[in-house]
């Protein structure tokens, strides 16, 4: 009999469901919450309400388009954390009720591990051990991945996540939410060497991204005093320069992590791994550093349930299930 798992993701502002059958992803239904746009960022309370609204239709669509009947499911998986507590609660409660009603085993998934395991949805997949730079709106982590189930954090941000830095700087520049992809697009037409911003250097393999946000803010304030149209006239160059700085900070630590661990299999994951500049930098490093690099498909960079399903597949194989008394964790370590 096939092993069919329904997976649910609701940690932030995407409501998503996917079905995996014997390790093969059959679909990946994602409902993006547009309600946050007018607020310029995710409003947690609104995210929870939107998950309530979207989850049942998204799960129904995932089951229907997969061709897998409810009665043929082997397990239900969900994102336990990290994420917004109210948002997680919706997915966790739904998954528990669904599993209870159908008497199915339940699998909890760590969202950050799922981002890493998105690399196993399609081939070629990295060989173990590999280094994964996971970059999202909430996290920035350098992870040593020894197996599908064993990961270790080598370094992480001590303040803002890099996606947060992209979004906050984009907001300062007046770009609509979510700012990261908008900044990326504008950067493509700008000169990355037009302006210089400081590269923060934390000890070891940790990161810090709060300094650049402040540096950009002061830089703009100073220039806007002399020229009220400074942003409008230099928007693409500012975006390109900011993006180059953020990527340099990420790449410096990634190179260091690979050199220290002598690992040459290198992956990136998470929402910011969709960034065109970061993808280009990684490909260039492949030649310079002698790395074999892995870039997730764009649909598997940002939050999605396919990656949760992939993680659940490995946990199912290892017999790692959880009880119906489980609760979400806003902070959850790898």
Tell me how far, at minimum, the Cβ of 197 lies from ligand KG4, in Å. Answer: 16
Binding residue ranges for substrate:
134-138, 167, 180, 184, 275
Single out the segment in contact with Zn ion by CB under 5 A; choices: 116-124, 134-142, 171-179, 240-248.
134-142
- Element spanning 62, H or E: helix 44-66
Residue closer to ligand KG4, measured from CB, 12 or 142: 12
Residue with Cβ nearer ligand KG4 (138 or 328): 138
Q: Which is nearer to Zn ion, 190 or 271 (CB)?
A: 271
Residue 275 interaction partner, one of ligand KG4, Zn ion, none, beta carbon < 5-8 Å per kind = ligand KG4
Give the pairing type, strands 4-9 and 24-25.
unpaired
- Beta carbon of residue 11, minimum distance to ligand KG4 (angstroms, whole number): 6
Would you say 107 or 170 has its CB closer to ligand KG4? 170
Tell me the C-alpha distance between 93 and 84, whole Å: 14
User: Angle, to 10 degrees, between the axis of helix 276-289 and the axis of helix 230-261?
Assistant: 40
CB of 4 to Zn ion, least distance (A): 24
Q: Please, are residues 321 and 106 in contact by the beta-carbon 8 Å criterion?
A: yes
180 binds, among Zn ion, ligand KG4, none (CB under 5 to 8 A by kind): ligand KG4
Please select the residue that binds Zn ion; options are 136, 157, 234, 241, rule is CB under 5 A: 136
Are the beta carbons of 105 and 34 closer than 8 angstroms?
A: no
CB-nearer residue toward ligand KG4: 84 or 205? 84
166 binds, options Zn ion, ligand KG4, none, Cβ within 5 to 8 A by partner type: ligand KG4
If 0-12 CB within 10 Å is exposed, 13-18 middle and 19+ buried, where does residue 62 land? buried
Contact partners, residue 177, CB within 8 Å, separation at least 6: 36, 37, 39, 40, 41, 167, 170, 171
Token match 């997730």: residue?
A: 296
Please state the φ and ψ torsions of residue 52, each to the nearest 5 degrees: -55, -45
| C-alpha span between 5 and 106 (Å, rounded) | 10
**Residue ranges of the binding site for Fe cation:** 111, 115, 303
Q: Which is nearer to ligand KG4, 171 or 264 (CB)?
A: 171
Q: Strand 75-81 to strand 4-9: parallel, antiparallel, or no bridges (unpaired)?
A: parallel
Q: Contact residues for ligand KG4 (CB under 6 A)? A: 12, 136-138, 163, 166-167, 178-181, 184, 270-272, 274-275, 302-303
Q: Which of 295, 303, 306, 307 binds Zn ion (CB under 5 A)?
A: 303
Residue 167's binding partner out of Zn ion, ligand KG4, none, with CB under 5 to 8 Å set by partner kind: ligand KG4
Compute the least distance from the CB of residue 134 to Zn ion, in Å.
Answer: 8
Question: What span, in angstroms and rounded, lies between the C-alpha atoms of 316 and 334?
Answer: 18
14 vs 21 by CB, closer to ligand KG4: 14
User: Which part of the chain contacts Zn ion (CB under 5 A), choosing from 15-23, 116-124, 224-232, 298-306?
Assistant: 298-306
For helices 210-226 and 230-261, the axis angle rounded to 10 degrees is 160
| Nearest distance, CB of residue 111 and Zn ion, angstroms | 6
Which residues, including other chains, have CB under 8 Å from residue 37's CB and lie 6 or more apart?
A: 176, 177
CB of 152 to ligand KG4, least distance (A): 20
Binding residues: 111, 115, 134-138, 167, 180, 184, 275, 303
Q: What is the DSSP letter of 82?
A: S
Give the residues lining the site for Zn ion (CB under 5 A).
136, 303
């Amino acid at each position: 009999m096939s092993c069919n798992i329904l997976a649910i993701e609701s940690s932030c502002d995407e409501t998503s469901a996917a079905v995996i059958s014997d390790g093969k992803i059959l679909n990946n239904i994602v409902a993006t919450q547009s309600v946050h746009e007018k607020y310029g960022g995710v409003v947690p309370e609104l995210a929870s309400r939107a998950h309530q609204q979207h989850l049942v239709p998204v799960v129904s669509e995932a089951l229907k388009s997969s061709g897998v009947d409810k009665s043929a499911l082997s397990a239900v998986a969900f994102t336990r954390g990290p994420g917004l507590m109210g948002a997680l609660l919706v997915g966790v409660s739904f998954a528990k009720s669904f599993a209870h009603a159908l008497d199915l085993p339940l699998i909890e998934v760590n969202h950050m591990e799922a981002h890493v395991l998105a690399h196993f949805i399609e081939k070629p997949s990295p060989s173990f051990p590999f280094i994964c730079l996971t970059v999202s709106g909430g996290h920035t982590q350098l992870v040593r991945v020894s197996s599908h189930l064993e990961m270790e954090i080598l370094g992480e941000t001590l303040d803002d996540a890099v996606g947060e830095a992209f979004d906050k700087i984009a907001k300062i520049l007046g770009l609509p939410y979510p700012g990261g992809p908008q900044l990326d697009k504008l950067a493509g037409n700008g000169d990355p060497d037009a302006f210089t911003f400081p590269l923060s250097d934390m000890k070891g393999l940790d990161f810090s991204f709060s300094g650049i946000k402040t540096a950009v803010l002061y830089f703009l304030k100073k220039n806007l005093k002399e020229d009220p149209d400074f942003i409008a006239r230099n928007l693409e160059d500012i975006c390109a320069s900011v993006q180059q700085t953020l990527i340099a900070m990420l790449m410096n630590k990634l190179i260091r992590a690979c050199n220290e661990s002598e690992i040459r299999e290198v992956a990136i994951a998470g929402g910011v791994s969709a960034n065109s500049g970061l993808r280009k930098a990684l490909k260039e490093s492949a030649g310079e550093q002698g790395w074999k690099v892995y870039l997730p498909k764009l649909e598997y960079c940002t939050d999605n349930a396919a990656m949760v399903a992939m993680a659940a597949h490995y946990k199912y194989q290892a017999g790692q299930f959880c009880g119906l008394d489980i609760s979400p964790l806003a902070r959850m370590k790898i």
